Amino acid sequence: MTKHVLITGGAGFIGSHIADLLLRTGHSVRVLDNLTPQVHGDVGGRPHYLDADAELVIGDVRDRSRLETALDGIDAVIHLAAAVGVGQSMYDIVSYVQTNDVGTAVLLEALSKRPVERLVVASSMSVYGEGLARRMDGTAVSPKERGLDQLRRGDWELRDRDGEVLRPIPTPESKQPALSSVYALNKYTQERMALIVGKAYGISTVALRFFNVYGPRQALSNPYTGVLAIFAARLLNSRPPLVFEDGLQQRDFVHVSDVARACLLALTTQTGIGQVFNIGSGQSRTVISIADDLARVVGMSQITPRITAKYRSGDIRHCFADISQSRTTLGYSPQVDFRAGLEELAAWLEGQLADDKIDSATAELERRGLVA
Ligand SMILES: NC(=O)c1ccc[n+]([C@@H]2O[C@H](COP(=O)([O-])OP(=O)(O)OC[C@H]3O[C@@H](n4cnc5c(N)ncnc54)[C@H](O)[C@@H]3O)[C@@H](O)[C@H]2O)c1
């Protein structure tokens, strides 16, 4: 049955792919987005990639009356509108709290007066802090954040109290959150607030913790988010990607079309209401390996990524998803092989121009003592 779906932040990277999938599967889509300049550039205007059948309401989620207009006739909401960047959240604190926490509060207050059938909220792997790890004796542990002394020595790996190196393992939803940036705190607040208010007002709510999402349409000129997009922006300007620490930190890269499929499942599932789910690929990759892979697929393997041996405040060492819960409860199954996804990204990059702002963004963090 056709659902009328509102996607907040739907003109962005992930939202536009969800819009495509919903329209393809017979739903109607309205997008509420303020076209943030950091993501969409200063000129603004409707992004050319946004499907013509998606209705665009330009407005801020914090604007109550605009939001109420956008909610008119809507059955389900996918809430993506957010300021997205771990490093930037550590100094642009008021703006992150306003957009992410207050924005979600305004949405939920509007929904409390006019409940919808379903709410899907985008959370993030950042809520875990360090992912789960194992000691040599096989016991699973939630690693402590690395201390400044350790990082200053360039000793990057996670260790237990006795100094033994811990081996990262897939992180399930049951891992206790360990919030190490304002952005992580925002995402946790968003998911909890949505689940609490959803339950109170009979709105079936599902929270999805996305891991590192990649694919076409990622904002290449936004230096604060999306490691593959940031590396791509460097390569398109014939500069080496800058890799923090030693590059051996592990992440989970999930293709945006798999994330879109997960959102559709969350919109229709009869099980898992009121729960959170990891949406990743279930595979781990080192950051240096993806910098090398990207340079190769864009035909620039002569450019060697530069390992900075620096660390950024709020960064974690390893985190990748255990997706067994989303497989069994939502029926989620990632389809896009990483190599095929990278090839597709490379083909899209061919037609793109990118303003590489990473040096100024890193200088900003350095000036504030957030990179060392
Ligand atoms: N990209 C990832 O790897 C990733 C990982 C984990 C979670 N997420 C979450 O997924 C969601 C979408 O992320 P994305 O990668 O598509 O980011 P994006 O920046 O491409 O999209 C976010 C959209 O929200 C809009 N927006 C920002 N503030 C707004 C406001 N106040 N009112 C209305 N619209 C506003 C922006 O203009 C943009 O179009 C976010 O909630 C993000 O936290 C993303």
The CATH code of the domain that includes 106 is: 3.40.50.720
Question: What is the pLDDT, as a whole number, of residue 161?
Answer: 86
- What pLDDT was estimated at residue 368? 76
Considering the domain boundaries, does residue 146 fall inside one?
A: yes
- Identify whether 164 is part of a domain: yes
State the catalytic residue, choosing from 96, 183, 188, 311. 183
pLDDT of residue 366: 77
pLDDT of residue 359: 73
pLDDT at res. 236: 87
Distance 12 CA to ligand 1 centre (A): 6
Distance 337 CA to ligand 1 centre (A): 24
Q: Enumerate residues 6+ apart whose C-beta is below 8 A from 366.
A: none
> Which atom of ligand 1 is nearest to 15's Cα?
16
Q: Which domain range does residue 67 map to?
A: 4-367
pLDDT tens digits for the chain (372 residues)? 889 999 999 999 999 999 999 999 999 999 999 999 999 988 879 999 999 999 999 999 999 999 999 999 999 999 999 999 888 999 999 999 999 999 999 999 999 999 999 999 999 999 999 999 999 999 999 999 998 899 999 999 999 988 999 999 999 999 999 998 999 999 999 999 999 999 999 999 999 999 999 999 998 877 777 889 889 889 988 999 999 999 999 999 999 999 999 999 999 999 999 999 999 999 999 999 999 999 999 999 999 999 999 988 778 999 999 999 999 999 999 999 999 999 999 999 888 877 767 777 777 777 777 777
Report if residue 372 sits inside a domain. Answer: no
Structural domain count, the chain = 1
Is the residue at 313 inside a domain? yes
Among 7, 13, 171, the mutation site with the greatest number of ligand 1 atoms within 8 A of its Cβ is 13
Ligand 1 centre distance from Cα of residue 147 (Å): 30
